[in-house]
Chains A and B, each alone.
Chain A
Amino acid sequence: MEFLQPTTWTEALEMKAAHPEALPIAGGTDVMVEINFDRQRPAAVIDLTKVAELEEWGTENGMLRVGAGVTYSRIIEELGGRLPGLAMASRTVGSPQIRNRGTVGGNLGSASPAGDAHPPLLSSGALVELASASGSRRVPVREFFVGPKRNAMRNDELIAAFLVEPTRGPEQFSKVGTRNAMVIAVCSFAIALDVERKRVGTGIGSAGPTPLAAIDAEEFMAGVLDESGLWERPADVDPNAVARFGELVAAAARPIDDVRGTAAYRRHALAVLARRTFTWAWDERRRSA
């Protein structure tokens, strides 16, 4: 196995161009499992941990640009206030050891339907910045997941960063699992209320071949809030509308039966999570208004 270790971003992109088959490794919390299980025997590995640019974050035209190599622990500590939904999800990832090593870039790279960073990135409409030696492009995260564990990245590209607007309203994340740590969720759900643009964002995890957004549910709830003028004057939301929101989220999922739970249970639990997270987010909106 060839071991490539670039120290700058330019060098990393050049190496990737020269070795398109090389497997990038960031925190290694997915890659090392794959290798230990002998599911992958990569001919070459590109270690990205020496590339300082990937560990930076900053603002760009009002958007937050977060390097692919920023770990969950740093998201929680440094960006918890600006990206509350992602921070909530990050707190549920693995264990402290995994959060210290694992990165959002790696989560996007693996593109697992169960990746915990995905629902909050979906609900807040993030962009994924992909780069190659010949340039870079920004792909909406809603178009990034193209199939089970497959994403829109070409094999000459690397993930540079994700971009997201800092919170414009309450955000929530919740998951159902057999336990609260070190487990793949049975299903998870993120919600983001964009009070300025009057939009509701959603993200569903572990309940389909890819992470998903519940678009009908988003439009339905944004409409309900709009019609009754609740965005401006937050008050009680009709419980039937909240229930309907839950139904629409459940309907958007495409779950399967497996050891962790049945498809039916996943849909049911998603509806519950959707109702709950909306209610928590809305309560917060009412308190702050």
Chain B
Amino acid sequence: MSLVGRGQRRLEGADKVAGVTRYTADLEMAGLLHVQIVLSPLPAARIRSIDTTGAAAAPGVVGVFTGADLRSNANGPDKPLAVDRVFYGGQAVAAVVAISESAAADAAALVEVDLEPIPAVTDAEAAMREGAPQVLDTVAETSEEDAAVHGAATAAESEPVERPPNVTAVASFKRGNVAKALAGADVVIKQRYRLAGVHHSPMEPHVAIARPEADGGVTIWAPTQGPFALREDVAKTLGVPAYKVRVVPMPVGGGFGGKVILLEVLLSMLALKVGRPVRLALTRQQEFIVGHPAPGAAFDLELGAKKDGKLVALRVKYHYDNGATSGWHAGITGSFLGGTYQIANFELTGYEVATNKTPVDAYRGPGAPQAYFALESAIDELALQLDMDPIELRLLNASKEGDPSADKSPWPRIAMVECLEEAARHPLYKAAVGPGEGVGVAVGSWGGARTPAAAGCRVEPDGTLSIVIGTPDVSGATTGLAMIAADAFGVSADKVRIQTGETDVAPHGPIAAGSQTTYSIGGAVQEAALEARRQLLEIATDELEAAPEDLEISDGRVSVRGVPDRFVEITRLVAASTEFMGRHKPIHASGRSAVLSASPQFTVQIARVRTDPETGAFQLTGYAAIQDVGKAINPPEVEGQIHGGAAQALGRALGEQLAFDGDGQLRTGSFLDYELPTADQLPDIDVRLIEIPSPFGPLGAKGVGEPPAIPGPAALANALARATGTRLREVPIDRSALVKERTGARTG
């Protein structure tokens, strides 16, 4: 019986629970030195001078370095250490290398950095105003590649649009005549929606070790989501061929898009300078200001509809607050705004805005939670105004197979309608609401990424399979891959080990991001296991004197079908193909895949709340996530992904925010002030899987990781609006805005 579709515990889970998994920070290494970085306290400044003499003389210090010591072609904010200018608070301006972590930290405090403050702007709207200080020296174009890595094509038409100050790129999508359609609409929702910037908050802060090698290259140990991407980047900066950078992928203690590359270029350079391995492990506070977070965004949205609920026009002007980088979220966002519903007229203009804050990067579904908070809040406002059932309104306008997406290309088979129909039937949606209660729904979707991949497979002396891929496991995906391999080969999943190989020897694999791991690699793993099986049976044919098609594998044996006593143990066959004087060729299989098309995924989530109108406090009392996953390879793992994703997205509404004060200082740089959701804030999450198989993905699978982390903020805001009559258009939610009864207190 096949394993796929049945539950399998995470193969690496027990080690993690028992605390025996060795993470990067657990590694010991001969001659290891420790790095501490000195961070700029100012959001924008000229560097007058950096005096390292005191630090260099401190006990245990091996070297102190500044930007002048490290050659780099990167843009100002991206240089391993700042040169001449500081672009954001928390930018590294110097690095101390010492014999211990504490020696490095003590010496770092002795580095004297003389900064001349220059005008800074930490708010995107202020940055776009005439006369705002210019954040970046050069305005780089949006990197399509960055976006593509995480979420497939952005498909923005790059029409020339006027650019306010500090706008690094503009994404623009147009269809029909919006002005006319809005004028002819029966109802127009015209509102502004905002989301704060948030941080991935991985359990494991960024950490890496770099060791110099004799050939001029380096070996890097890092919990990276993308060993090959990391290798490329470091090699490029060092000016060495990629193979001279060897990346050893370590277990990832939470990545969510934030752990591809961060410290490794700096550490590689320092390692080569001092000629010894060096390590840097960020503290939690450093993680908050050094780790690249997710951007905040604001949307000015006009949504027009006819009385019967038919959407006719959507105009959205929106911007991303990217910190000191050029940014690439707006195009992805536009594809959701313009493609989710069938709207004949739209005009979507998304600005990428640079500010004097830590540069942003990808975070689980980059561009999607933002898009859907605005869109799905507006749809809910429209439903209330039209007095229509919000699911009915969505069904009336939902995109289906063949309908044009935002870039006009037809949608493939998608399951938005099925998800909405399932939501309409869900008890959380149908149950009556009492006073102070409300139910909200919201849609989310993700385009899905894909990258060519390969896998290698060997059969071990004990008859188990060792499969090597080039992609780390950030989600439990390798357990699903093991199930696919086990089914293909004919063993149980615990007989399969999936390892992420060092970049030296591993077959190429995509970065673990964009909901693409299983989708991209599944086929390669399956092919490798089938090929290993073929090679094994070839040996067995000889031993059993039977044709391969008459052979079967079960219980660790190869036997002749229908003649169970004619068998040979797999271990025997492996021995015969590996032992001294053996007669057979060793099993050495590989598989490759290149999925030709993305399989967009849809989800609908339902939130139920109970509110306290006197204090504005509220409690989520129920939550459901309905998601089309194509085919659930390992259903409990899929549910786990959905639980985690929903919790993360709800965190954006419940309290997470990177808040800055007027001086550009982060006010929420610790878990005391940065409020991650806690268990008491989250109800049980009921997961309903819909399985409309993908024609492209392995066994019909689609990506799973991103979609659940998208609709939460809108689902919650919609539920609160229905419970209280107060519409919150900004997350995180300000509870005081929900207060109804202002009796009994002189309020301000």
Contact = CB atoms under 8 A, between A and B. Distances in A.
Given A179-B680, A181-B680, A259-B667, A243 B654 contact: no
Interface in A151-210: 176, 178-184
A117 interface: no
Contact of A247 (B668, B681, B745): B745
Given A243-B743, A250-B745, A264-B747, A179 B677 contact: yes
A267 interface: yes
B739 interface: yes
A247 B615 CA distance: 15
A260 B675 CA distance: 10
Nearest to B667: A259
Contacts of A276: 614
B735 interface: yes
Interface residues of A, number: 31
Contacts of B466: none
Given A37-B285, A259-B673, A267 B745 contact: yes
B472 to A, nearest CB: 30
Most buried by A among B615, B673, B681: B615
Interface in A232-289: 243, 246-247, 250-251, 259, 261-265, 267-273, 275-276
A263 B745 contact: no
B681 A267 contact: no
B736 interface: yes
Label chain A's interface by main secondary structure.
Answer: helix
Contacts of B679: 181
Given A37-B285, A265-B739, A269-B615, A178 B675 contact: yes
Contact of B745 (A176, A261, A272): A272
Most buried by B among A33, A181, A182, A250: A182
Given A179-B654, A179-B655, A262 B615 contact: no
Nearest to A275: B744
Nearest to A266: B736
Contact of B655 (A178, A246, A273): A178
A63 to B, nearest CB: 35
Label chain B's interface by main secondary structure.
Answer: loop
Nearest to A273: B615
Interface string B677-688: 111110000000
Given A179-B680, A179-B681, A250 B746 contact: yes
A259 B744 contact: no
A270 B745 contact: yes
A33 B747 CA distance: 34
A188 B429 CA distance: 35
B539 to A, nearest CB: 57
Contacts of B240: none
A273 B655 CA distance: 22
B748 A263 contact: yes
A178 B745 contact: no
B615 A272 contact: yes
A178 B654 contact: yes
Contacts of B285: 37
B499 interface: no
Interface string B635-678: 00000000000000000001100010000000110111101011
A37 B747 contact: no
Contacts of B742: 268
B747 A268 contact: yes
Contacts of B615: 176, 269, 272-273
A179 B746 contact: no
Contacts of B14: none
Contact of A271 (B283, B673, B744, B748): B744
A184 B745 contact: no
13 contacts: A178-B654, A178-B655, A178-B675, A178-B735, A181-B678, A182-B678, A184-B672, A264-B736, A264-B747, A265-B747, A267-B748, A270-B745, A275-B744
The 4 A-B pairs at the shortest CB distance, nearest first, are namely A264-B748, A271-B745, A265-B736, A243-B744
Interface of A: 33, 36-37, 176, 178-184, 243, 246-247, 250-251, 259, 261-265, 267-273, 275-276
